[in-house]
Amino acid sequence: MHTKFLPRPAVSLVTTSRSPQAGAGSLPAGEPRLLHAEVVDRLRDRIVRGELAPETKLNERVLCQELGISRTPLREALKYLASEGLVQLLPNRGAVVAALEPGRIKQMFVVMGALEALAGELACANASDADIAEIRAMHYQMVAHYARGELADYFRYNQLIHMKLVESGGNGVLAQSYRSLNAHVKRARYMANLSKERWDKAVEEHEAILDALVKRDSTRLKALLQDHLGNKMVVVMEALAGNEPGKP
Amino acid sequence: MHTKFLPRPAVSLVTTSRSPQAGAGSLPAGEPRLLHAEVVDRLRDRIVRGELAPETKLNERVLCQELGISRTPLREALKYLASEGLVQLLPNRGAVVAALEPGRIKQMFVVMGALEALAGELACANASDADIAEIRAMHYQMVAHYARGELADYFRYNQLIHMKLVESGGNGVLAQSYRSLNAHVKRARYMANLSKERWDKAVEEHEAILDALVKRDSTRLKALLQDHLGNKMVVVMEALAGNEPGKP
DNA sequence: GGAAGAAATTTTGTATGCATAATACAGAAG
DNA sequence: CTTCTGTATTATGCATACAAAATTTCTTCC
């Protein structure tokens, strides 16, 4: 697998032009977006998508050139991502993309199970009818993509549904915790090749989940979510076991 | 309440002397401890203990002087703490200690409830006898401090017990998530004045919790932990409601 | 040829400098 | 006295400079 960075010609995030050498600012900017925050989002995205593979060394000079910024905001972003657990800081030796240890991912699934169960409970109790209608709409979108075999779009709606479900319980802390763990797990999922059978089953499970939510059947929803997540865990863990039997 | 910083004469964290102007390093240092990491720990501690009160403005120049470092590692530390949610970054306006919104704290208790329930389950299943013996020992220490009316020490052992219980389930991700939420909640608890009755009851609850753990009665332990946490929530929420009826 | 060690290079950690945004302050107008 | 406006001050965001550590490269010796 490639670990080399693409020689992108430093498209540069700098738009607000606060830098000493820069010439002219432009956008009126309703809300100032700081560089480190932008970099956090970009790097997190690249890590989650697997473009920055686990254990990739993050060379500051290279990243700075790619992003068209100086080391200061980059290093701030790395600290932020380290706190999220997506980056590991090695004192005096820089930063690397966090490893994807199967044991740790499994632990994350267990915790996410507890969070999703709680989320299901809260959603049944607190979700508005509009929330549920939105989830139903996303569900049908997802099923449509499934029918057409469009995996990427299926995944996207799948994620949207799970996030919306978690959010509609009205507990922002829960949503935040879930999102954070989910980012880690998503990294692993990019390796997992969904089998046709598993895909079929996952859609079935989603049908049942939607049904339980509509009926606000908390007990059943919790059980279904647990089951769904458990199955997903199996798939991901298998993929993970297959993709790194021995680290070279 | 004081929000002003103490004029500490810059005791300086700099020991490794990598700075341009610094004179001499000293400690052989088995493992290099970086400045930003040190600052993260210090600031987090001050925030959790309430020495840096909620919504306190964090002036970089002042903190730099207090810590005896330059702005670079300080700002890195602030980014890290922002990711933990203990600090809020205001673009172009610096950083403030995160507010203690009762609604949010309540949400945290709900999530911690789910995590503790899981922790209880895992502890019953996975804790070694040595783990349980350690918890028991800490429990008796705690009770001794309770008997002597030593609140601070009681709290310390209380925390140790809860953390050990969470850790002995063997799920590091769970422990990490719990620790993070706990830091936030601890901030609130520093305001809560435990009544004698509540204290008595809390110790009773702990007796029952220990008993359930020793017997590895997962179902009962979960229920007891939920109850215990729920009671603690009531106390904290009352204190929080009392201490900020109107923000000046 | 390979191991060991020294010098050169790169990389990281921290401090500092500079430009812009934000705030405090002063004075004028109402 | 309050409110507005323009200016001085301060604070923040980013870039850069420099020193120590780590890594690589080049010798040297066996």
Position of tokens 């996207």?
Answer: A156
Which is nearest to B107 in space by CA: B240, B213, B243?
Answer: B240
Q: Could you say which nucleotides of strand C lie within 7 A of any protein CB atom? A: 11-23
Q: Which of residues 27-56 of B touch A (CB under 8 A)?
A: 31-34, 36-37
Domain match, A147 and A74 both: no
How many inter-chain contacts (A to B, CB under 8 Å) are there?
Answer: 95
User: Tell me: the pLDDT tens digits for B210-243?
Assistant: 999 999 999 999 999 999 999 999 999 998 887 6
Q: Among B15, B111, B166, pick the best mutation site for testing chain A contact (most A Cβ within 10 A).
A: B111
- Between these two residues, B185 and A239, which has the higher pLDDT value? B185
* pLDDT bracket for residue A29 (50, 70, 90): very low
Domain match, B215 and B109 both: yes
Question: In the numeric block, which tokens belong to residue A191?
Answer: 């390796």
Residue B248 included in any domain:
no
Average pLDDT on A96-109 reads: 96
Domain match, A28 and A69 both: yes
Average pLDDT on B6-16 reads: 47
Residue A248 included in any domain:
no
Q: Return the pLDDT at B18.
A: 57
Q: Please give the ipTM for the structure prediction.
A: 0.90
The CB-side HSE value for B24 (13 A sphere, CA atoms) comes to: 1
Q: How far apart are CA A209 and CA A203, in angstroms?
A: 10
Domain match, A186 and A226 both: yes
Q: β-strand B94-97 against B87-90: which pairing, if any? A: antiparallel
Contact A183, B119 (CB under 8 A): no
Residue A3 scores a pLDDT above 70: no
Residue A79 included in any domain:
yes
Residue B186 scores a pLDDT above 80: yes
Q: Across the interface, do A80 and B77 touch by the CB < 8 Å criterion? A: no
Average pLDDT on A83-100 reads: 97
User: Tell me: the pLDDT tens digits for B81-136?
Assistant: 999 999 999 999 999 999 999 999 999 999 999 999 999 999 999 999 999 999 99
Average pLDDT on A230-235 reads: 94
Residue A198 included in any domain:
yes
User: Tell me: the pLDDT tens digits for A145-171?
Assistant: 999 999 999 999 999 999 999 999 999
Return the CATH number at A142: 1.20.120.530
Out of A51-65, B163-177, B186-200, pick the least confident: B186-200
* pLDDT bracket for residue B150 (50, 70, 90): very high
How far B5 CA lies from chain A's nearest CA (Å)?
25
Q: Return the pLDDT at A189.
A: 83
Residue A234 included in any domain:
yes
Is A136 within 8 Å of chain B by CB?
no
Which is nearest to A136 in space by CA: A115, A175, A165?
Answer: A165
Domain of B79 in residue numbering reads as 1-99
Average pLDDT on A132-142 reads: 98
Number of domains in chain B: 2
* pLDDT bracket for residue A12 (50, 70, 90): low
Is B222 within 8 Å of chain A by CB?
no
Is B76 within 8 Å of chain A by CB?
yes
Is B112 within 8 Å of chain A by CB?
no
Please tell me whether residue A192 adopts helix, strand or coil conformation: coil
Contact B166, B121 (CB under 8 A): no
Residue B117 included in any domain:
yes
Domain match, B46 and B109 both: no
How far B197 CA lies from chain A's nearest CA (Å)?
31
Give the CA-trace dihedral at A228, A234, A236, A237, to 10 degrees.
150
Is B114 within 8 Å of chain A by CB?
yes
Q: Could you say which nucleotides of strand D lie within 7 A of any protein CB atom? A: 11-23
Which is nearest to B79 in space by CA: A154, A201, A81?
Answer: A81
Q: Return the pLDDT at B224.
A: 98
Q: Tell me the CA end-to-end span of chain B in Å, nearest whole number.
A: 13
What secondary structure does DSSP assign to B69-122, as a single string? --HHHHHHHHHHHHHHTSEEEETTTEEEEPP--HHHHHHHHHHHHHHHHHHHHH
Question: In the numeric block, which tokens belong to residue A204?
Answer: 């079935």
Report the mean per-residue pLDDT for chain A: 88
Q: Return the pLDDT at B189.
A: 83
Q: How far apart are CA A172 and CA A174, in angstroms?
A: 5
Q: Return the pLDDT at B239.
A: 86
Is B22 within 8 Å of chain A by CB?
no
Domain match, B124 and B239 both: yes
Q: How far apart are CA B239 and CA B236, in angstroms?
A: 5
Q: How far apart are CA A246 and CA A16, in angstroms?
A: 46
Domain match, A86 and A119 both: no
Domain match, A79 and A115 both: no
Among all residues of chain A, which has the CA nearest to that of B109? A173
Q: Return the pLDDT at A123.
A: 98
* Helix ranges restricted to H, chain A: 35-49, 60-67, 71-84, 102-126, 129-147, 151-167, 172-189, 196-214, 218-243
Q: How far apart are CA B141 and CA B135, in angstroms?
A: 10
Q: Across the interface, do B110 and A173 touch by the CB < 8 Å criterion? A: yes
What b-and-e string marks burial along A207-231, b requiring 16 or more CB atoms within 10 Å of the CB? Answer: ebbbebbeeeebebbbebbeebbee
The amino acid at B140: Y
Task: For residue A60, say whether its CB is under 7 Å from any atom of strand C.
Answer: yes
Q: Which of A66, A99, A132 lies at the terminal end of a domain, its last residue?
A: A99
Q: Across the interface, do A111 and B72 touch by the CB < 8 Å criterion? A: no
Distance A15 CA to D20 C1' (A): 34
Q: Return the pLDDT at B240.
A: 86
Residue A18 included in any domain:
yes
Domain match, A111 and A161 both: yes
Q: Among A31, A70, A173, A233, pick the best mutation site for testing chain B contact (most B Cβ within 10 A).
A: A173
Among all residues of chain A, which has the CA nearest to that of B172? A107
Out of A216-225, B12-21, B113-122, B168-177, pick the least confident: B12-21
- Between these two residues, B20 and B149, which has the higher pLDDT value? B149
Residue B16 scores a pLDDT above 80: no
Question: In the numeric block, which tokens belong to residue B190?
Answer: 């520093």
Helix or strand run (H / E) with residue B233: helix B218-243
Domain match, B122 and B221 both: yes
* pLDDT bracket for residue B21 (50, 70, 90): very low
Question: In the numeric block, which tokens belong to residue A88?
Answer: 């590991």
* pLDDT bracket for residue A172 (50, 70, 90): very high
* pLDDT bracket for residue A14 (50, 70, 90): low
Q: What percent of chain A has pLDDT over 90?
A: 80
Is B8 within 8 Å of chain A by CB?
no
Domain match, A26 and A108 both: no
Q: Which of A99, A118, A146 lies at the terminal end of a domain, its last residue?
A: A99
What b-and-e string marks burial along B72-90, b requiring 16 or more CB atoms within 10 Å of the CB? Answer: ebbbbbbbbbbbbbbbbbe
Q: Return the pLDDT at A4.
A: 28
Among all residues of chain B, which has the CA nearest to that of A175? B111
Which among B76, B85, B172 has the least Cβ separation from residue A76? Answer: B76
Helix or strand run (H / E) with residue A88: strand A87-90
Report the mean per-residue pLDDT for chain B: 88
Residue B27 scores a pLDDT above 60: no
Residue B61 scores a pLDDT above 50: yes
Alpha-carbon separation of residue B93 from A25, A154, A219, B88 (angstroms): 19, 41, 47, 10
CA closest to D12 C1', residue: B92
Return the CATH number at B61: 1.10.10.10
Domain match, B119 and B236 both: yes
Q: Return the pLDDT at B246.
A: 46
Q: Across the interface, do A174 and B84 touch by the CB < 8 Å criterion? A: no
Residue A95 included in any domain:
yes
Residue B169 scores a pLDDT above 90: yes
